């Protein structure tokens, strides 16, 4: 009587180990980078919420029936956020804005806080010591008069890489038009 062998041969075992090794080499980098993927998803969600907030604020300004610069637009959030002359969020205390026509650095933080109404991220103004702290987002502004195409607030997400010269996610917000642009940018002192 002939006995049939049950189980794997040595060659089959070696082939299975090689195939599993190849799969591990291909899949491992994807799983190793999950932390960066989580950072990317988190900040893209926050930037998307910011953009939605800008649109909702402008819709509120349009439906209020008022035109031009508005102080404390009551129909959005807690009613403390002022508008630019074109009806987009400008800040909370905008008394120095020349009636909604100029942007200042402090306004950018006020816009973020007024639109998102959460404490999930720690914001710090762009300066020499900002990369050493535990801040998540560095903000500041470029320009002055809103009519200038180069006037915008910028928000750089540095929580995933605090080193100077790192390429991080950035949101640019233009209060004249309400335009938001998301991309990667290098932030330095």
Q: What is the pLDDT of residue 184?
A: 94
The string of pLDDT tens digits covering residues 108-127 is 999 999 999 777 888 888 87
Residue ranges making up the domain that contains 76: 38-186
pLDDT at 161 exceeding the cut of 90: no
Higher pLDDT, 164 or 174: 174
Q: What is the pLDDT of residue 70?
A: 92
First to last CA, the chain: 84
pLDDT at 68 exceeding the cut of 90: yes
Arithmetic mean of pLDDT over the chain = 88
User: Residue 168 falls within a domain, yes or no?
Assistant: yes
Q: How many domains does the chain have?
A: 1
pLDDT band at 51 (very low <50, low <70, confident <90, very high): very high
pLDDT band at 87 (very low <50, low <70, confident <90, very high): very high
Average pLDDT over residues 162-169: 86
pLDDT band at 25 (very low <50, low <70, confident <90, very high): confident
Count of helices and strands (H, E) across the chain:
3, 7
User: Residue 19 falls within a domain, yes or no?
Assistant: no
Cβ neighbours of residue 116 under 8 Å, at least 6 residues apart? 46, 49, 50, 53
User: Residue 5 falls within a domain, yes or no?
Assistant: no
Residue % of the chain over a pLDDT of 70:
94
Residue % of the chain over a pLDDT of 90:
53
Q: What is the pLDDT of residue 1?
A: 61
d(CA 80, CA 54): 14
Q: What is the pLDDT of residue 49?
A: 95
User: Residue 28 falls within a domain, yes or no?
Assistant: no
User: Residue 72 falls within a domain, yes or no?
Assistant: yes
Sequence-ordered alpha helix ranges (H) in the chain: 10-32, 34-63, 105-116
User: Residue 22 falls within a domain, yes or no?
Assistant: no
User: Residue 54 falls within a domain, yes or no?
Assistant: yes
pLDDT band at 3 (very low <50, low <70, confident <90, very high): low
User: Residue 73 falls within a domain, yes or no?
Assistant: yes
């Amino acid at each position: 009587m002939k006995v049939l062998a049950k189980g794997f041969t040595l060659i089959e075992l070696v082939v299975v180990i090689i195939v599993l090794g190849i799969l591990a080499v291909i899949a491992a980098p994807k799983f190793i980078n999950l932390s960066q993927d989580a950072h990317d998803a988190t900040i893209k969600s926050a930037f998307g919420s910011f953009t939605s907030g800008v649109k909702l604020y402008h819709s509120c300004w349009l439906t209020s029936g008022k035109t031009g610069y508005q102080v404390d637009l009551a129909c959005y959030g807690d009613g403390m956020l002022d508008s630019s002359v074109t009806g987009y969020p400008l800040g909370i205390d905008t008394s120095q804005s020349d009636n909604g026509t100029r942007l200042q650095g402090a306004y950018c933080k006020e816009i973020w806080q007024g639109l998102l109404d959460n404490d999930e991220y720690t914001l710090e103004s762009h300066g020499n010591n900002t990369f050493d702290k535990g801040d998540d987002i560095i903000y500041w502004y470029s320009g002055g008069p809103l009519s200038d195409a180069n006037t915008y607030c910028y928000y750089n997400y540095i929580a995933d890489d605090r080193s100077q010269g790192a390429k991080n996610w950035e949101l640019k917000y233009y209060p004249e038009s309400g335009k938001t642009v998301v991309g990667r940018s290098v932030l330095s002192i």
